[in-house]
Amino acid sequence: MGSGFFALLDDIAAIMDDVAVMSKVAAKKTAGILGDDLAVNAEKASGFASSRELPVLWAISKGSLLNKIIILPIAFLLSAFFPVAIMVILVLGGLFLAYEGAEKIYEFFFPHAHEESEGITDEVLTEEEILVIEKDKVKSAIVTDFILSVEIVIIALGTVIGKPLLQQIITVSIIAIIATIGVYGIVALIVRMDEVGFKMIQHSKKEKSVLKFIGNILVQALPKVIKALTVIGTIALIMVAGGLFVHYIPYIHHLAEEINIPSIIKEFMAGLVLGFVTLGIVNLFKKIFKKKETAV
């Protein structure tokens, strides 16, 4: 009886050891998309009244956890009964990531007009109007999070395909939890950066004190940090997408093996090329549908 108990403990220890190794691999694979996740959520959680930033972020965080509760069982069922679907979703997810990255690059070089988003800090609005706009922005952020969460879960699952189902569940669940807590924890620090800076300036008694100097840096740094995260996130999108194409599309995999350049460059080139191809196709369909709507 005792030996059976210790054998069980040994099995559990072996499983957790395997999970630890697989979690590290999965974390590395999903690190790129987390950069974009961080940039997107930092941007969506900013722009609110100071007193509402943390409540809004908490509402988005709860929505993110709910998203993962919905996504994880579906992903595990597909892995168990229809694993080919995971490969297909990985490639489709790669196309979506590449498209997003290419669109951001295209927008940078050829900016075009966008509909003005509703502001809630620059206008004099009633409390009821503010809550309505806030609710809409939270919904939008949760929808975006759902798409990013699908990508994170599927990419993490792609690293453990072929492993026992229990190990898949534990590994991917760990990545999903870390992604939610890590991303939204950092976002909370980022969006409060300027508030901390203002308080440091207010508490500074001298005109040229160190406290006031640091406070000014924090206030001025917030928009720059969000911009930097957007650039890093764009590069990460293309890199992650390119990695998926190189590993899961046989033709690109064989082509990449024949080219004698670092794998990081191969993946970036694959992501960039297919990203702009996808962007071209999407824009073409948009123009066709727009012409049809105009004709009607």
- For position 234, what pLDDT does the model report? 82
Residue 33 has pLDDT above 70, yes or no: no
pLDDT at 81: 83
Contact 226, 43 (CB under 8 A): yes
**Res 21: pLDDT:** 47
- Between vectors from CA 149 to CA 167 and to CA 231, what angle results, nearest 5°? 120
pTM of the model: 0.68
For tokens 């690059």, what's the residue?
105
pLDDT at 197: 81
Place of tokens 């597909």: 78
pLDDT digits (tens, 9 = 90+) for 263-283: 889 989 999 999 999 999 999
The angle, 0 to 180 degrees and rounded to 10, between the axes of the packed helices 250-258 and 263-295 is 140
12 or 189: whose pLDDT is higher? 189
Which is nearest to 102 in space by CA: 291, 287, 283, 266?
283
Please give the pLDDT value at position 270.
93
What tokens were used for 240? 């992650």
* Residue among 78, 249, 57 at smallest CA distance from 165: 78
pLDDT band at 3 (very low <50, low <70, confident <90, very high): very low
Of 77, 83, 96, 81, which Cα lies nearest the Cα of 33? 96
Q: Tell me, what's the pLDDT at 279?
A: 94
* Predicted pLDDT at 122: 47
Is a pLDDT exceeding 60 seen at residue 117? no
pLDDT tens, residue by residue, 58-103: 888 888 889 888 988 988 888 778 878 878 888 888 898 899 889 9
Contact 47, 191 (CB under 8 A): no
pLDDT given at position 278: 95
pLDDT (tens digit per residue) in 193-245: 777 787 787 777 777 777 777 888 877 887 787 777 778 778 877 888 888 89
Q: How many domains does the chain have?
A: 1
Query: Residue 36: pLDDT band by 50, 70, 90 thresholds?
Result: low
The confidence score (pLDDT) of residue 76 equals 84
Q: Which domain holds residue 62?
A: 2-295
Highest mean pLDDT among 28-32, 181-185, 270-274: 270-274
Mean pLDDT of all residues in the chain? 75
